[in-house]
Amino acid sequence: MTRETAIRWVAKPLVFASALIPLAWVAWAAVSSGLGPTGPLGANPIEYINRFLGDWTIRFLLLALAVTPVRGITGWTPLIRFRRMIGLFAFFYACMHVSSYIGLDQFFDWTEIWKDIDKRNYITVGMATFVLLAPLAATSTKGMIKRLGGKRWTRLHKLIYVAGIMACLHFYMMRKGVQLEPIIYASICAVLLGYRVAAHLKKKARAGKAENPDRAGAGAGAGHR
Ligand code: HEM
């Protein structure tokens, strides 16, 4: 089997199926317990479902952000082939999270939902994060990359960094007070974004040296003195 066949017909379907396991589990738990307070979802199943889906949204978002650094560190280039799928799963779980909030938590009471978005800051931030993710999902196809052009597409998709920061902020604000879990997620996000800043600075320094080899040589000479 070639590497291409293995990625396309084994690894990708496996990643796809694995990404659906959390949703399948929570759907099974909700249906089997009839959303009752004594089932596996605890005393408040609706809150459990909403939080569970929020957790998986932020996990997939951070996983998508982790692809480039992990590829850079390990040198395992095929990893990039999974980035789009993982990013789309982040958006998919965000849709499920928002749907559970609108349908199960608020019973489609749009006036109440609007008030909530306006009043509770963490919901405003969550909504803004969701709005940022939507154009990224909509432009994730090869056709859209072609239509936008590589440069514009790359610039637009930098919004994922802002979305990552805002998702962590939404989590931190929602939990109220200093709690370990949101801090862990925010730290992971900081490391993943920090890696990019460091890589960017390194690239710039290298480009500067290539543009000005005399100065680079002089600098190196000065160092030896
Ligand atoms: C893509 C963006 C989003 C991400 C990554 C995200 C993630 C999260 C996370 C991690 C939690 C906490 C779960 C826990 O405590 O374990 C949470 C809670 C919550 N999110 Fe989001 N969220 C997003 C967007 C939204 C949006 C758009 C809304 C509503 C319009 C929303 C409404 C809520 C609510 C109501 C809770 C707390 C529920 C409760 O009090 O139990 N989120 N979210």
Closest atom of ligand 1 relative to the 167 alpha carbon: 5
In a domain, 12, yes or no: yes
Q: Probe ligand 1: pick from 46, 59, 118, 123, max atoms within 8 Å of CB?
A: 123
Question: What average pLDDT is seen over the chain?
Answer: 93
Q: Which has the higher per-residue pLDDT, 210 or 29? A: 29
Q: Which residue ranges have their beta carbon within 6 Å of ligand 1?
A: 47, 50-51, 54-55, 57-58, 61, 94, 97-98, 101, 123, 126-127, 129-130, 133, 167, 170-171, 174
Instruction: Tell me, yes or no, whether 225 lies in a domain.
Output: no
Q: What are the distances in angstroms from CA 180 to CA 58, 61, 126? A: 15, 19, 20
Report the predicted TM-score, pTM, of the whole model to 2 decimal places: 0.91
Looking at residue 122, what is its pLDDT?
A: 97
CB 182 within 8 A of CB 175: yes
- Average the pLDDT over each of 20-24, 87-91, 173-177, 221-225 and give the range with the smallest value: 221-225
Say if 218 falls within a structural domain.
Answer: no
Q: Tell me, what DSSP letter sits at residue 178?
A: -
Which atom number of ligand 1 is nearest to the Cα of residue 127? 27
The answer to whether position 214 is within a domain reads: no
Tell me the pLDDT band of 218, cut-offs 50, 70 and 90: low
C-alpha distances (whole Å) from 134 to each of 77, 90, 204, 207 are 27, 11, 31, 34
Q: Is residue 223 part of a domain?
A: no
**Domain carrying residue 86:** 3-202
**pLDDT reading at 137 higher than 60:** yes
pLDDT at 204: 92
Q: Is residue 212 assigned to a domain? A: no
CA-proximal residue: ligand 1, atom 7 (nearest): 54
Residue 96 inside a domain? The answer is yes
Q: With a cut of 50, say whether residue 225 has pLDDT above it.
A: no
Residue 216 lies in a domain: no
Looking at the structure of the chain, the number of domains it has is 1
